[in-house]
Amino acid sequence: MKYLDEFQDPVLAGRLFAEIDAAVTRPWALMEVCGGQTHSIMRNGIDQLLPDTVELIHGPGCPVCVTPLEMIERALEIASRPDVVFCSFGDMLRVPGRDRDLFGVKASGGDVRIVYSPLDAVAVAEAEPDRQVVFFGVGFETTAPANAMAVVQARDRGLANFSMLVSHVLVPPAIEAILSSPTSRVNGFLAAGHVCSVMGTGQYEPLADRYHVPIVVTGFEPLDVLDGIRRCILQLEEGRGEVENAYARAVQVGGNPVAKAVLAEVFEVCDRSWRGIGLIPGSGWRLTPAFADFDAERRFDVGDLTAEEPTECRAGEVLQGMIKPDQCEWFGTTCTPRTPMGATMVSSEGACAAYHQYRRVDTPVSVRRG
Amino acid sequence: MCLGIPGRVQEVYEARGTRMAVADFGGVTKTVCLAYVPEVGVGDYTIVHAGFAITRLDEASAVETLRMFAELGMLESELGQDEPVP
Ligand code: SF4
């Protein structure tokens, strides 16, 4: 398909690898923020083809992975109610709570339904007016426009039986949390391209200035990822720390103004806990007071449910780039995608699952070095 | 859920006042909401997250980026062996 195949071209990949080789004079650690990029890096074996001096650290950019346990528990609690139809993106169903997941709730009779778009949940609410339809509104700035529109449509259609359990997270505060952590080894960031398609690149300028760090807006195909790495390395070698757009075909400086206007109407910034990382101030979105009637946490009163993270899982260290997934003692033995101990193994976008899927004895390599 | 997929708009229609489309994702077609991309029309490529188009893929930028990649390493001489990218 157009703009897909071209950005997987092995010959051009070889050129980009050669440019990176030529530019690097010392070790650098780069973090790809988004789980989609982690997936692309693993699938194409990019990390193994880079010079040894360039290390990729896999960031917290998988919304399934960072949704805190207490929010999963709230979802399980609400989904278990007999009057509720609980709608969710499929990835969330296997996320382990304390002693069960949403699949478990479904298996024991709960009405849990997988939807492709949040508008499907609105349609369910309209078709089944006697049921309470709850949508699990998770994700980064990329899924937020979809979730926001679902709430707007529910309001416009007067659907009193629709609500949303909102657990939105935001990328820039997470980057700042990593930058300000004393244990951080990250020298430069590949920022998540599609987050910037929505929000634009302006939010990253103050971070690049304050921490003097390169932040390169990067796409998801192999050539996109390589170009993001190349530009990041060039900045580091030249002592620059700037915001750069390596994904111009999908990212405008100002983002998507129509989406931003709706997001500003529906969501407001709040503090949010990230699974494995902890509380990051100002790192989430919740519904604005104008949409409070659609807030599932108010409607079902499960707001003060708390839960402790399991101690064995080392997803927190993985998410902060302190260990690689295969350095966790449970990786591939006790913990597998079929029996996940932590959320980074549940989602296919999670770093542990990406390692498990692609890091076998023979790593498939679809791009080659020049 | 979080992975955005590029699709090509095949057909645009209105559903209860909202602009919708049928888009092709490499052979699979799905319904996509165009509310956020008023500039997108039939034949355009767009990135879709959770059933919503969030941005139009700009063809000129795509071509420009590929041309830049193709020109990388020109100075180091190995040019001419590989086909240039349009
Ligand atoms: S391999 Fe499993 S237990 Fe180890 S950090 Fe990853 S998800 Fe947690």
Q: Which A positions 329-368 lie with beta carbon below 8 A of chain B?
A: 349
Q: Which domains does chain B have, with CATH numbers?
A: 5-79 (2.30.30.140)
pLDDT at B8: 93
Measured from CB, residues less than 6 Å from any atom of ligand 1 are A 313-315, 318, 325, 328, 330-331, 335, 340-342, 344-345, 352
Q: What is the mean pLDDT of residues B32-59?
A: 94
CB contact under 8 A, A139 and B2: yes
pLDDT band at B79 (very low <50, low <70, confident <90, very high): very low
Whether pLDDT at B9 is above 90: yes
> How high is the pLDDT of residue A367?
55
Residues A38, A41: Cα–Cα separation, whole Å: 5
- Nearest alpha carbon, ligand 1 atom 1: A331
ipTM of the complex: 0.89
Compare CB distances from B54 to A7, A142, A248 and report the shortest one's residue: A142
Number of domains in chain A: 1
Per-residue pLDDT averaged across A323-344, rounded? 90
Report how far residue A274's alpha carbon sits from residue A276's, in angstroms, rounded to the nearest whole number.
6
Q: Whole-angstrom Cα distance, residue A224 to residue B65?
A: 9
CB contact under 8 A, A6 and B3: no
Per-residue pLDDT at B85: 47
Under the banding of pLDDT at 50, 70 and 90, the label for residue A303 is: low
**pLDDT digit string (tens) for A210-254?**
999 999 999 999 999 999 999 999 999 999 999 999 999 999 999
Give the sheet arrangement for strand A54-61, strand by strand: A54-61, A28-34, A188-192, A215-218, A243-245
Contact yes or no for A98/A122 (Cβ under 8 A): no
How remote is the CA of residue A334 from the centroid of ligand 1, in Å?
9
Which residue intervals of A238-314 are DSSP H helices?
Answer: 257-266, 296-300
**Per-residue confidence (pLDDT) for residue A321, from 0 to 100:** 78
The SS3 of residue A294 is helix
Above pLDDT 90, what percent of chain B? 56
- Pairing assessment for the beta strands A84-88 and A111-114 based on DSSP bridges: parallel
Q: Residues A78-87: what's their mean pLDDT?
A: 97
Average pLDDT, chain A: 91
pLDDT over 90, % of chain A: 71
- Three-state secondary structure string covering chain B: CCCCEEEEEEEEEEECCEEEEEEEECCEEEEEECCCCCCCCCCCEEEEECCEEEEECCHHHHHHHHHHHHHCCHHHCCCCCCCCCC
Is-contact A327 A118, C-beta < 8 A?
A: no
pTM, entire model: 0.90
CA distance A68 to A177: 17
Q: Predicted confidence band at B75 (pLDDT cuts at 50, 70, 90)? A: low
Residues 6+ apart with CB under 8 A from A73: A97, A98, A305, A307
> In this structure, are residues A115 and A89 in contact, taking their beta carbons and an 8 Å threshold?
yes
The model's pLDDT over A19-62, given as tens digits with 9 standing for 90+, comes to 999 999 999 999 999 988 998 999 999 999 999 999 999 888 88
Does residue A308 surpass a pLDDT of 90?
A: no
The residue range of the domain holding A70 is 1-370
Here the CATH number for the domain that contains residue A296 is 3.40.50.11740
Please list the helix, strand and coil fractions of chain A in percent, rounded to the nearest 5, in that order: 45, 20, 35
Encoded amino acid at A271, one letter? D
How are strands ordered across the β-sheet holding A267-274? A111-114, A84-88, A132-139, A162-169, A278-287, A267-274
Range 30-49 of A in CB contact (< 8 A) with B:
34-36, 39
Instruction: Give the pLDDT of residue A141.
Output: 95
What's the whole-number average pLDDT of chain B?
A: 85
Determine the pLDDT at residue B77.
Answer: 46
Contact partners, residue A129, CB within 8 Å, separation at least 6: A161
* Whole-angstrom distance, CA of residue A134 vs CA of residue A258: 26
Q: How far apart are CA B67 and CA B65, in angstroms?
A: 5
